[in-house]
Structure formats: structure tokens, C-alpha cells
Structure 1
């Protein structure tokens, strides 16, 4: 087997690992660890394929080998693209999976515990997260509002819906929802707590991943996006 043929097979392998890893994880055919391993291997094989193609295409003596190397580079593009995007989005994110605007008294989940599997992360906010979160996301803070609890809750619910979250539980001053990651379909649980203050209300948001030690910054970005929308005067 020559270099061109081997490179093409590695590229095809990267694409297969990418598709199987993602679809298998979303369908819960296997655990997320297996899916992430396959995703990482897909990225590695695609990198090797593209590197080999760049290195050997001009050196190949036969036209069919050059065609195979070019084809390998194209087939390997999806895996290297999505793997690179994941690395870029998660760059600098701390190894935590539970983020809250109030780290001293995080909002408590009520319904989420009944929706999680025994193997999922528990809902205890670890004190060790506090310095890591503060260093990585210093702008995360409690939202202050002049709205009443009812008004703030309606606004929070609308924003959650606009952001594509599935709200599965609420009571006065309390909303719980879930969000799925685009790629693997990982579920994160979100709780919004609304409390009365002298000037109106204060709103705290907590977002926690069901699986994994880290979240590539997804939970913090979700809270930041929610906070930005909530603070927009023109958001109805």
C-alpha cells in the first residue's frame, strides 16, 4: 500500500469516526467518553491526512496518486474543521462544568435532579469552582432590575425561549430549563432565580452540564448571552 492509498483511507476513517461518534453519542448508543474519543481520533486522522497530502502531492509521480492525495485532503476537511472549532471555542476555559452568577449562594435546582441519570454530574456546586470561575469569567454577576418578580420572570422566560432553551419547570421566582449543544447534543441544565430587592429584583443564573468535567466555556457563554439580552432596553 503506497502513501496515497494509505492517506485516502485515513481520511475516510476520520470522516467515519466523526459521523459515528456524533450520531452515536446523540442517540445514546454509547457513552459521551466514547464519542469524544472518536471525535479526537477523527481530528488526529484528518490532521495526518491533510499533512500527508500537502507533503506528498507534488512528489507523487503518478497522476492517480496525486488525485488520491487531493481527494484525501477534501474528505479530511470536515473532521479537522469541527475539531479546530471546538478547540478554538474552548481555549482558555477552566476545567469546570457548573457556572453561576452567585458563587456564594448559587441558585438551587428543584426539578433537574429528577431528570439526571445516576452517572451524570451531581448538582452540588463545588467551592473549588469559585476561584477558577472568577479568574476565567470575571464579568459574570447578578443582574439588577427594576422589574417586579412577575415582570422579570416573563422576560426571563421569553429570553430562554428565544435562545432555544426548553423550559421544563417554573414557579414564582424560579425557572428551570435545558439546552443542548449543537454538535453532540450534550444537555446542560439552567436555573434562573428571581428575588425581590428594594429597587426591584435581582436575577441569578446558573448553568450546569450533565456530563463531562469541563464544558469548553459553554455554560459561561450561555449566561453572558442571557444577561446581555436581559439588559437590552429594546428587548420585549
Structure 2
């Protein structure tokens, strides 16, 4: 078996692993750790095939071989693109998965405690998160508002739904929702707490991933998006 043929097969393998990494996790054929391993391997194989294609295409004499190498580079593109986007999106993010606008008295989930499996991350807010979050996300803060609790809650729910959050629980001063990631379908739980103040109310959010030690900055980004929409 010659190099162009091997490179072509490696590229196909990267594409297959890319697809299986998400399909298997979404259908719970295997653990998310196995899915992430396959996803990483897909990125590695795609990188190898693209490098081989770039280095050997002009050095290959046969037209068939050059065509195989060019095809390999195209086939490998999806895996390297998705892997690179995932890798660079989380650069600089601390290894935490539970973010709150109030780290001293974080909002407490109600519905999510019943929806999580025993193997999922705990919903007990870790004290070690406080300093890590303050260093990485100093802008994550409570949202003071002149709205009374009911009005603030109505606006908060509308924003949550516009952002694509699936609201599944609500009571006065309390909203809970879930958000699923695009690729693996990982579920994060989000809570909005609205507390009365002398001038109106104050809104606190908490976003926590069900699986994984780190979140690649996704939970902080989600809270930022909500805050920006509310303060418009």
C-alpha cells in the first residue's frame, strides 16, 4: 500500500471517527469520555493526513496518487475544523464547570437536582470555584434592575427563550432551564434568581455543566449573553 492510499484512508478514518464521536454520545452508546477520545483522535488523524497531503502531493509522480492526496486533504477538513474550533474556543478557560454571578451565595437549583444522574457533576457549588472564577471572569456580576420581581422575571424568561434555553421550571423569583451543546449534545443547567431590592430587584444567574471537569468557557459566555440582552 503506497503513501497516497494510506493518507486517503487516514482521512476517511478521521471523518468516520468525527461522526461516531457525536452519534455515540448522543445515543448513549458509550460514555462522553470515549466520545471525546474519538473526537481528539479524529483531529489528530485529520492533521496527519492534511500534512501528508501538503508535503507529498507535488512530490508524487503518478496522477492517481496526487488525486488521492488532494482528496484526503478535503476529506480531513471537517475533523480539523471542528477540533480546532473546540480547542481554541476554550483557550485560557479555567478547569471549572459551574459559574455563578453570586459566588458567595450562588443560586440553588430545584428541578435540576431531580433531572441529573448520580454520575453527573454535583450541584453543590465548590468553594474553590470562587477564586478561579474571579480571576478568569471578573465581569460576571449580578444584574441590578429597577424592575419589580414579576416584571424582571417576565423579561428574564423572554430573553432565556430567545437565546434558545429550554425553560422547564418556574416559580416566583426562580427560573430553571437547560441548554444542549451543538456537537455532543451535552446538557447544561441554568438558573435565574430574581430577588427583591429597595429600588427594584437584582438578578443572579448560575450555569453548570452536567459532565466534564471544564466547560471551555461556555457557561461564562452564556451568562454574558444573557446579561448583555437584559441590559440593552
Q: TM-score, normalised by structure 1?
A: 0.97
Match of 2:138 in 1: 138
Match of 1:117 in 2: 117
Query: Cα deviations across residues 30-52 of structure 1 (Å, max 9, x unaligned)?
Result: 11101100000000000000000
* Aligned residue runs from structure 1 range 76-225, under 5 A: 76-225=76-225
* 2:30 alignment partner, SS class: coil
> Using the alignment, how far apart are the partners of 2:221 and 2:163 within structure 1?
12
> Using the alignment, how far apart are the partners of 1:140 and 1:113 within structure 2?
24
Q: CA deviation at 1:80?
A: 0.1
- The number of aligned residues is 232
> Using the alignment, how far apart are the partners of 1:30 and 1:154 within structure 2?
40
Q: For structure 1, list consecutive stretches of 5 or more residues without a partner in the other structure.
A: none
Q: CA deviation at 1:209?
A: 0.2
> Using the alignment, how far apart are the partners of 1:172 and 1:27 within structure 2?
36
> Using the alignment, how far apart are the partners of 2:162 and 2:22 within structure 1?
26
Match of 1:17 in 2: 17
> Using the alignment, how far apart are the partners of 2:49 and 2:24 within structure 1?
24
Match of 1:33 in 2: 33
Match of 1:65 in 2: 65
Q: CA deviation at 1:25?
A: 0.9
* 1:167 alignment partner, SS class: strand
Match of 2:229 in 1: 229
Deviates more, 1:111-120 or 1:26-35: 26-35
RMSD of the alignment, in Å? 0.5
Q: CA deviation at 1:29?
A: 1.5
* 2:155 alignment partner, SS class: helix
* 1:202 alignment partner, SS class: strand
> Using the alignment, how far apart are the partners of 1:40 and 1:226 within structure 2?
31
> Using the alignment, how far apart are the partners of 1:63 and 1:81 within structure 2?
27
> Using the alignment, how far apart are the partners of 2:40 and 2:95 within structure 1?
18
Query: Cα deviations across residues 191-213 of structure 1 (Å, max 9, x unaligned)?
Result: 11000011100000000000000
Match of 1:7 in 2: 7
Q: For structure 2, list consecutive stretches of 5 or more residues without a partner in the other structure.
A: none
* 2:102 alignment partner, SS class: coil
Q: CA deviation at 1:28?
A: 1.4
